[in-house]
């Protein structure tokens, strides 16, 4: 039977994304079980984060709470005395990982996005989509706090749609991450061809990239990767700074700039997908938060990430487009002279490699956690755990390498994958998460009404980008000339 309140109808628990839930930080991770399990108290009540009070849970929410997934513990369990400890990251370490993951390949395509749509619309889209990405990232953090067992998109899909949601979410996340991993192998090949003047077959560079990326993915915890991410951040900053100096000293001849550009839908929307790809890091946020010492500090890392990436995106896109005009190349590092291009690609190598490592780590961690969750192999260095992690990472990078070598028009296919998945991971899904967290409270007050409208719009943005992006990228792939797969040809030209 439905429980009722003395003063009115039942009120569902709400997670108000306007402030961080009032969990008390601990030296390690907060003890969710002592407060609530998957958003609910043990006594059958639900916490309203906005009011910080408990309200009776409706019957259908109690049924959801009693579902199989609702009794899952945090994926890494009790780490006291564990050989391998995962929940060790401080917020600043996580921030550098998030920056290294997000500001990598995406920033290199933004000057060409301005050339496609014009400077004014391009600036508005970069800033606007960045602001929305900040809010949607915050909602993902709130969802993780409400459901501590959620370690990836698959777990979140199970909360929303049960076992079917888990399979859909897991498949979508893994496919998306593998294609991004492939893009890093391809970019490594382009960089080595540019640096060495195509000293050897491009397939050889691809194999070298595959092996190097696999080796760097072997550490099982993100804390170890966080130190490398600092080098990655310095790397991309140095590369784009040199590129901006290079194009400023030697601007393009017959420079032509446009405030706005009259173009057809397909090429214009390809620019939108390029910008969205630059904010595609949300797919890994659940995994990152799972390894925080204190998950309630996630907003600090998020705000540092968004302030850094949006600022860098705007500065690099505006400066490079200002001095190259409609002749800008993508990646932007190729817009300079040959000498400067070699230097820029050389400095960019750490971020090309390490950002790929982070995506590979997240993809492998999903599979590893799914196989060994709740077993001793999660927290101990056994022969099976070490061998399985090495095998999973090797297989994922092998598939990514095959994709990178097989698809000649890889950028267009990446735009297709971004439209299909990044539109939901960064935008659409967070709207669904907020609506799920606030079920039954949409009209509670004006603030809830406004936030409900906002999140419905965010869901609409994700759906629109997915639909129109699929059309635009599909048309671009159709119009692209074939050839070039499994070729020794110079990919830097």
Output the CA torsion sign for 37, 38, 44, 46: positive
What CATH number is attached to the domain comprising 333? 1.10.4160.10
Are the CB atoms for 184 and 216 separated by under 8 Å?
no
Residue 489 has what pLDDT? 84
What is the spatial distance between Cα 246 and Cα 319, in angstroms, rounded to a whole number? 11
Other residues' Cβ atoms within 10 Å of the Cβ of residue 59 = 12
Task: Flag whether 335 is in a domain.
Answer: yes
Task: Flag whether 487 is in a domain.
Answer: no
Task: Flag whether 189 is in a domain.
Answer: yes
Task: Flag whether 192 is in a domain.
Answer: yes
Residue 41 has what pLDDT? 46
Residue 476 has what pLDDT? 82
What is the spatial distance between Cα 493 and Cα 489, in angstroms, rounded to a whole number? 9
Task: For residue 40, give the DSSP letter.
Answer: B
Task: Flag whether 237 is in a domain.
Answer: yes
Are the CB atoms for 183 and 417 separated by under 8 Å?
no
Task: Flag whether 298 is in a domain.
Answer: yes
Burial class (CB in 10 A: 0-12, 13-18, 19+), 482: exposed
Residue 50 has what pLDDT? 44
Structural domain span for residue 239: 89-408
Residue 358 has what pLDDT? 87
Written as six digits, the tokens of 387 are 């061998």
Query: Which DSSP string do the residues of 316-358 spell out, in sequence order?
Result: HHHHHHHHHGGG--SSGGGGS-HHHHHHHHHHHHHHHHHHHHH
Are the CB atoms for 274 and 106 separated by under 8 Å?
yes
Residue 375 has what pLDDT? 76
Using only the alpha carbons of the chain, give its radius of gyration.
23
CA distances from 147 to 72, 152, 347 (A): 9, 11, 41
Task: Flag whether 257 is in a domain.
Answer: yes
Written as six digits, the tokens of 232 are 């990655």
Mean pLDDT of successive 10-residue segments in the chain (493 residues)? 43 42 40 41 46 40 47 58 72 90 85 91 96 97 93 93 94 93 92 92 94 92 74 90 93 85 86 90 92 93 96 95 88 87 93 90 90 77 90 97 81 79 94 95 93 97 94 82 75 74
Residue 309 has what pLDDT? 94
What is the spatial distance between Cα 433 and Cα 420, in angstroms, rounded to a whole number? 18
What is the spatial distance between Cα 83 and Cα 378, in angstroms, rounded to a whole number? 9
**Count of the separate structural domains present in the chain:** 1
Written as six digits, the tokens of 312 are 């860098």
| Closest CA relative to residue 116, chosen from 279, 220, 272, 7 | 272
This model's pTM is above 0.95: no
Task: Flag whether 301 is in a domain.
Answer: yes
Element (H, E) at 161: helix 153-161
Written as six digits, the tokens of 196 are 């060495």
């Amino acid at each position: 039977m439905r429980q009722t309140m003395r003063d009115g109808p039942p009120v569902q628990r709400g997670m108000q994304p306007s402030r961080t839930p009032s969990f008390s930080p601990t030296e390690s991770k907060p003890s969710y079980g002592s407060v609530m399990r998957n958003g609910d108290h043990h006594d059958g009540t639900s916490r309203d984060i906005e009011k910080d009070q408990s309200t009776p849970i409706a019957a259908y929410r109690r049924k959801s709470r009693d579902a199989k997934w609702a009794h899952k513990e945090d994926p890494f369990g009790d780490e006291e005395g564990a050989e391998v400890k995962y929940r060790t990251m401080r917020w600043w370490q996580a921030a550098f990982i998030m920056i290294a993951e997000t500001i990598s390949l995406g920033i290199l395509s933004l000057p060409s996005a301005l050339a496609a749509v014009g400077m004014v619309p391009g600036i508005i889209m970069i800033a606007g989509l960045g602001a929305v990405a900040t809010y949607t990232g915050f909602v993902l953090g709130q969802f993780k706090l409400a459901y501590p067992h959620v370690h990836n998109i698959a777990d979140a899909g199970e909360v929303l749609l049960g076992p079917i949601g888990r399979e859909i979410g897991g498949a979508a996340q893994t496919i998306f991450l593998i294609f991004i991993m492939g893009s890093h192998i391809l970019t490594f090949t382009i960089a080595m061809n540019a640096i060495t003047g195509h000293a050897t077959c491009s397939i050889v560079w691809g194999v070298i990239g595959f092996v190097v990326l696999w080796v760097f993915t072997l550490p099982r915890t993100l804390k170890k990767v966080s130190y490398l991410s600092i080098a990655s951040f310095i790397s991309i900053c140095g590369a784009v700074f040199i590129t901006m100096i290079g194009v400023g000293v030697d601007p393009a001849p017959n420079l032509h700039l446009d405030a706005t550009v009259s173009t057809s839908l397909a090429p214009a929307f390809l620019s939108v997908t390029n910008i969205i790809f630059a904010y595609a890091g949300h797919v890994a946020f659940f995994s990152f938060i799972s390894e925080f010492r204190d998950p309630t500090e996630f907003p600090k890392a998020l705000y540092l990430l968004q302030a850094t990436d949006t600022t860098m995106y705007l500065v690099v896109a505006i400066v490079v487009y200002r001095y190259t005009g409609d002749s800008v190349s993508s990646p932007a590092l190729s817009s300079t002279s040959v000498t400067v291009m070699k230097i820029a690609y050389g400095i960019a190598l750490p971020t090309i490699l390490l950002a790929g490592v982070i995506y590979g780590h997240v993809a492998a961690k999903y599979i590893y956690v799914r196989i060994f969750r709740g077993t001793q192999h999660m927290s101990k260095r056994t022969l099976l755990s070490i061998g399985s992690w090495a095998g999973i990472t090797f297989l994922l990078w092998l598939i990514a390498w095959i994709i990178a070598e097989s698809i000649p028009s890889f950028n267009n296919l990446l735009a297709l994958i971004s439209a299909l998945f990044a539109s939901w991971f960064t935008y659409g899904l967070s709207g669904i998460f907020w609506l799920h967290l606030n079920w039954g409270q949409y009209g509670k007050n004006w603030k809830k009404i406004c936030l409900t409208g906002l999140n419905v719009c965010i869901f609409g943005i994700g759906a629109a980008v997915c639909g129109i992006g699929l059309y635009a990228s599909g048309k671009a792939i159709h119009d692209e000339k074939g050839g070039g797969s499994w070729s020794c040809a110079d990919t830097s030209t």
